[in-house]
Structure 1
Amino acid sequence: MRTALLLFVSGLCALNVTSSLKICAFNIQSFGEAKANNKKVMGILLKILSRCDLCLIQEVRDSKGEAIQTLVKELNRFDYSNSYSFVESERLGRNTYKEQYPALLTQYQYHKLEEGTRETDAFSREPFIVRFHSPTTLLKDFVLIGQHTCPKTAMKEMDELYTVFNGIYKKWKNVMILGDLNAGCSYVTMKGWRAVRLRSDPKFHWLIGDEQDTTVRQKTHCAYDRIIVHGREIIFSIVPGSAQPFNFKESFHLTEEEALEVSDHFPVELMKVRSNGNIKHYFFDLLLINKFITYNFISSFS
């Protein structure tokens, strides 16, 4: 069973040397008990996740909830300067294939403000939508839409995200769409791209370009995982050139076989400017949920 999970760090972080916030999205590829019990894989995952202030994790297959509990427990041991927690989505999927999304965040108290349901057959796994409000950041209010598309219907689902966006834009103007959109190689066509409104509307900025490679295998070169932003304030809050895949295979000197034990995807990431020197950690684990949930994060310090 697959679900969406929102992991977050609650508590203060002592670091104050940076003025930016790193946001990531990572398809871990069938994260469940087997990977959670693999010490080598978990060690690499902890190094990857602790780099991010906000990380959207995808492909959590954890029907018992034990794998995520293990991940958060080990992350707290690994990065003891922060206290990590999580909230998770319902298990998502149309058939027997289901997943969850956890998200991990740091140094904010969170309050669920509103909740509802959005049922549609346009998505194999519905988007997970979360609003952040942070008085101490340069951008005070923004919404994240996490999506993991089905490869066979990737273009249809990407286009339908435009409809989801329009519903959100009525209330909030700064929006980031991120996740494994399967937006590359054989899953997309030039003709099909023209019909994807997220692509044809110039107000949407695709920060991970078509030329990027978000896959681990040497024989593939596909920009499956994307980060897309809309809104003047969020665009100007992003550090130019910071959006890119994180090649953990090269960074951690792994063989392809070792890297594939972790995932067949690289995380994608960007840096967002903050208004002061206090760093806060967020973690997002795959935003794929059939509920529309708004969270208000209030800084635990000024």
Structure 2
Amino acid sequence: MRSSSLLLLSFLMGVRDVQGGSDFRVCAFNLQHFGDSKSKKSDVMETLTRIITRCDVCLLQEVRDSKGKALPQLLTQLNSNDSVHKYDAVASERLGRSESYQEQYVFVYRTDTVTVSGQYQYPDIRPGDVDAFSREPFVVRFKAPRTTIKEFVLIPQHTTPTNTTKELDALYDVLQDVRKMWKTENVILLGDFNADCGYLAKKNRKNVRLITEKSLVWLIEDKTDTTVRSSTSCAYDRIVVHGETFARAIVPLSAKPFNFQSEYELTEDQALEVSDHYPVEVLLKVDKSRVFNGATSLALTGTNQKTSQLKFFSWFVLSHLVLQVLAR
């Protein structure tokens, strides 16, 4: 009886952690030509909002907002549809070798769980390899007090399909630059790497330091499909974590694509209106003491506050009953 009660108590502690809001989610999403035209489609914007509000930090790629209206509209919609969290964004300059085709990297983040502590536009002037990237990484450092890692750096990259091998290898130089500049080992590289199918030949992988370096862990496996079209199956979108400390701060097996087509019961055509990529995501471990304290805080309002209080009260009552059994 005592052993089964202990098991129940252990289970309840696990439930408490989940109900206390223990997820901290980092996402990367290629929005496929996100700009003025796509922002005018209400159904698309609704789906984008549902996807992005799942994340504490979300890297957006292929943002082609030349008029500067689509991103503010997206932020307004995010803040209107989530009564618990507030969202802000930090964006790169418009990047690309051609004036007619340029993109921005955009990080959307919850202001109550994350703060930006640094940003850095990689200059891409490395001697012997000037202009290695079509879209140079826009590197951002975040503080996330709820996580066990506390602070981390995100290096984004949307590679050019015709130059994938070179750009992926050059990302290793960006990593070393960031480690030296910010004196940190806690780095994730993420984005649409085009790291599969016809864009990254198997014979070329031995020439990519981002793949061969043992301090880097690729969390999205080669066999994973990150594409929406049923006619394709490619692991284009990736998440790569650097360093043993950061690797231990990742929730095991949490890195995966988010199949919004299936989740939101969309047809393939409806999903393709949003993007031809699935977002990829990973969970960071959280500081359990902060999760517990947060369960009793008054940070939430309205229905969400009542829900949080009810969950905490339920956990308290159940755990109290178990403790009574143990005392017998």
TM-score interval, smaller chain: 0.7 to 0.9
Paired residues, what number?
265
Change (3 A) 1:199 1:119: closer
Change (3 A) 1:232 1:256: same
Equivalent residue, structure 2, for 1:167: 177
Contact 2:115 2:144 in 1 (8 A): no
Equivalent residue, structure 1, for 2:284: 272
Alignment of 1:87-236 (within 5 A): 87-95=90-98, 96-106=100-110, 107=112, 110=115, 113=118, 118-120=123-125, 121-170=131-180, 171-236=183-248
Measured in 2, the distance between the counterparts of 1:58 and 1:132 equals 18
Change (3 A) 1:267 1:92: same
Measured in 2, the distance between the counterparts of 1:143 and 1:200 equals 21
Unaligned runs of 5+ in 1: 1-14, 280-302
Alignment of 1:286-301 (within 5 A): none
Measured in 1, the distance between the counterparts of 2:121 and 2:103 equals 20
Q: Which runs of 4+ in 1 moved over 3 A?
A: 108-117
Which range moves more in the overlay, 80-89 or 237-246? 80-89
Corresponding position: 1:40 with 2:43: yes
Q: SS at the partner of 2:164?
A: helix
Measured in 2, the distance between the counterparts of 1:112 and 1:135 equals 12
- Deviation string 1:14-56 (CA, Å, 9 cap, x unpaired) is x971223011000010001111110111111111111111111
Contact 2:206 2:212 in 1 (8 A): yes
Unaligned runs of 5+ in 2: 1-17, 126-130, 296-328
Measured in 2, the distance between the counterparts of 1:263 and 1:115 equals 28
Q: Identity across aligned pairs (percent)?
A: 48
Equivalent residue, structure 1, for 2:66: 63
Which protein is bigger by CA-based radius of gyration? Answer: 2
Measured in 2, the distance between the counterparts of 1:97 and 1:203 equals 35
Equivalent residue, structure 1, for 2:321: none
Residue type of the alignment partner of 2:78: L
- Deviation string 1:160-211 (CA, Å, 9 cap, x unpaired) is 0011111122311111000000001000111100100010112210000100
Per residue, is there more strand in 1 or in 2?
Answer: 1
Equivalent residue, structure 2, for 1:54: 57
Structure with higher RCO (Cα < 8 A, 6+ apart): 1
